[in-house]
Amino acid sequence: MKLLVTGGAGFIGSNFVRYVLNTHAEDEVVVLDKLTYAGRRENLAEVAEDPRFAFIHGAIEDREAVDAAIEGCDAIVNFAAESHVDRSIEDPEAFITTDVIGTHVLLEAARAAKIGRYVQISTDEVYGSIDEGSFTESSPIDPSSPYSASKAGGDMLVQAYFRTYGLPALITRASNNYGPFHYPEKLIPLCVLNAFAGDKLPVYGDGMQVRNWLYVEDHCSGIDTVLRKGAEGEVYNIGGPDECPNIEVVKRVLELTGRDESLIEYVTDRPGHDRRYSLASDKTMALGWQAQTGFAEGLERTVQWYRDNEDWWQPIRSGEYLEYYRQQYGRELA
Ligand code: NAD
Ligand code: TYD
């Protein structure tokens, strides 16, 4: 199979590209990526010389770039997105452009090319917040942030293209990912790097918001399972094995980095902050998938990866990131 992986230079996309090339000897991968602040060629360094891999610099909302990239591909897996809730609150526009309009351009191009398979990578955040129990694929869509609303818009277009035009499309909705190559604007890598530096770890509100943590490799195997075995027109949840309140996550990071709790800093809560996410993944598990990595083990591996890969994260903690940090947290990084 020849796959077009859009957004393949980001956190999950780059892990997925490695996963596919390592798991399926016959497969080829073309990455189309706009290389925003979150996308980096360095994330794909391990596969850069693989003859089965090609990289194209371009945006999913650019029809010409998409048409060129799609040439000869059997399937599309769309990771391309603006992905950070806090940035969507600050300025939603790029989220609409990429997550809604970009998805639409990609769907049009896929339809014209008569693509064999289209997988939209979505999120549990489209379901909104749940106090008890877990979301299933038939739970109503009820997004809270401009990020989750724009992802929900993309999902609705994918569903419409399946129903209206018979596009062989599927949607996956995953819970919070963590692991190697995670951009340090998100809770876990931000806290790991701040803890390394002896800087404060910012906790929004009371820190009792719960997330359902999924190790990125488990997400990749889930997407791969849905890509190859899922039924067209269906949605598949891919949830992590463990749920944990943010304050517990932060305390575990402090423990793994040998720091004490005096580094915890409670800061102003995020507006519209979803209290809890929880996913039931029975439908994906019925295809033969299961998460392999518990949160304790995955977090330990993640902290170790950041310890071993300062060359990867050091350049990020400059320029745009420092500016973002100053705006978001109202202070400089230590
Ligand atoms: P990321 O921000 O790390 O990476 C996004 C990638 O998309 C980057 O390489 C960026 O350059 C690229 N991109 C952005 N706009 C583009 C455009 N217009 N055209 C082409 N490329 C563009 O995000 P991530 O955390 O890897 O998330 C990937 C996907 O998974 C997203 O669709 C996100 O909604 C979804 N998701 C993420 C999580 C999570 O916990 N991170 C959980 C569930 C679902
Ligand atoms: P995040 O990693 O941004 O993912 P998402 O918003 O998609 O769930 O945040 C995870 C949780 O951690 C969320 O409840 C917000 C919280 N959080 C903090 O408490 N402090 C922070 O500095 C960040 C970035 C997030």
Q: What is the pLDDT of residues 175-226, one digit of tens each?
A: 999 999 999 999 999 999 999 999 999 999 999 999 999 999 999 999 999 9
Measured in angstroms, how far is the CA atom of residue 272 from the centroid of ligand 2?
12
Q: 172: closest CA among 43, 36, 13, 55?
A: 13
Cα–Cα distances (Å) from 253 to 3, 45, 190, 195, 317, in that order, read 36, 27, 10, 8, 19
The DSSP secondary structure of 101-132, one letter per residue, reads IIHHHHHHHHHHTT-SEEEEEEEGGGG---SS
> Which position among 19, 127, 147, 183 bears the catalytic label?
147
Residue 109 pLDDT exceeds 90: yes
Burial 240-254 (b: 16+ CB within 10 A, else e): bbbbbebbebbbbbb
The residue type found at 242 is D
Q: What are phi and psi of 57, to 5 degrees?
A: -90, 115
For the Cβ of 121 lying below 6 angstroms from any atom of ligand 1, the answer is yes
Cα–Cα distances (Å) from 51 to 3, 27, 29, 30, 228, in that order, read 14, 11, 10, 11, 23
**Catalytic residue list contains 147:** yes
DSSP class of residue 148 equals: H
For the Cβ of 211 lying below 6 angstroms from any atom of ligand 2, the answer is yes
pLDDT tens digits for range 273-309: 999 999 999 999 999 999 999 999 999 999 999 999 9
pLDDT tens digits for range 76-90: 999 999 999 999 999
Measured in angstroms, how far is the CA atom of residue 122 from the centroid of ligand 1?
10
pTM exceeds 0.85, yes or no: yes
Q: 106: closest CA among 222, 252, 251, 6?
A: 6
Mean pLDDT calculated for residue range 98-105: 98
The minimum-distance atom of ligand 2 relative to the CA of 328 is: 22
Residue 162 pLDDT exceeds 90: yes
For the Cβ of 34 lying below 6 angstroms from any atom of ligand 1, the answer is yes
The residue type found at 10 is G
Q: Look at ligand 2, atom 6, and give the residue with the nearest C-alpha.
A: 85
Instruction: Report which bound ligand comes closest to the CA of 188.
Output: 2
For the Cβ of 185 lying below 6 angstroms from any atom of ligand 1, the answer is no
End-to-end CA distance of the chain: 47
Stretch (H or E) spanning 123 = strand 117-123
3-state secondary structure of 31: strand
Tokens of 84: 């950070």
Rounded Cα distance between 202 and 250, Å, is: 9
Measured in angstroms, how far is the CA atom of residue 187 from the centroid of ligand 2?
5
Q: 20: closest CA among 291, 221, 295?
A: 221
**Catalytic residue list contains 323:** no
What is the percent of the chain with per-residue pLDDT over 90, rounded to a whole number? 99
Tokens of 124: 């549990």
The residue type found at 82 is E
Residue 334 pLDDT exceeds 90: no
Rounded Cα distance between 98 and 120, Å, is: 13
Are 246 and 211 a contacting pair, CB within 8 Å? yes
Instruction: Report which bound ligand comes closest to the CA of 273.
Output: 2
Confidence of residue 141 (pLDDT cuts 50, 70, 90): very high
pLDDT tens digits for range 29-50: 999 999 999 999 999 999 999 9
What is the percent of the chain with per-residue pLDDT over 70, rounded to a whole number? 100
Mean pLDDT calculated for residue range 315-333: 94
**Catalytic residue list contains 266:** no
> Which position among 33, 61, 99, 125 bears the catalytic label?
125
The minimum-distance atom of ligand 2 relative to the CA of 83 is: 7
- Per-residue confidence (pLDDT) for residue 260, from 0 to 100: 97
Residue 248 pLDDT exceeds 90: yes
Q: Which residues contact 219 (CB under 8 A, 6 or more apart)?
A: 12, 15, 16, 174, 177, 238
Region for 123 from its dihedrals, namely left if φ exceeds 0, alpha if ψ lies in -120 to 50, beta otherwise: beta
For the Cβ of 209 lying below 6 angstroms from any atom of ligand 2, the answer is yes
Q: What are phi and psi of 86, to 5 degrees?
A: -60, -40
For the Cβ of 143 lying below 6 angstroms from any atom of ligand 2, the answer is no
For the Cβ of 88 lying below 6 angstroms from any atom of ligand 2, the answer is no
Q: 32: closest CA among 109, 84, 96, 91?
A: 109
Q: Look at ligand 2, atom 12, and give the residue with the nearest C-alpha.
A: 187
For the Cβ of 217 lying below 6 angstroms from any atom of ligand 1, the answer is no
Mean pLDDT calculated for residue range 137-147: 98
Q: 168: closest CA among 106, 110, 111, 232?
A: 232
Across the chain, mean pLDDT equals: 98
Mean pLDDT calculated for residue range 23-30: 98
Residue of 79, 187, 302, 316 with the most ligand 1 atoms within 8 Å of its CB, for mutation: 79
Domains of the chain in sequence order? 2-177+215-238 (3.40.50.720), 179-211+241-277+293-320 (3.90.25.10)
The residue type found at 313 is W
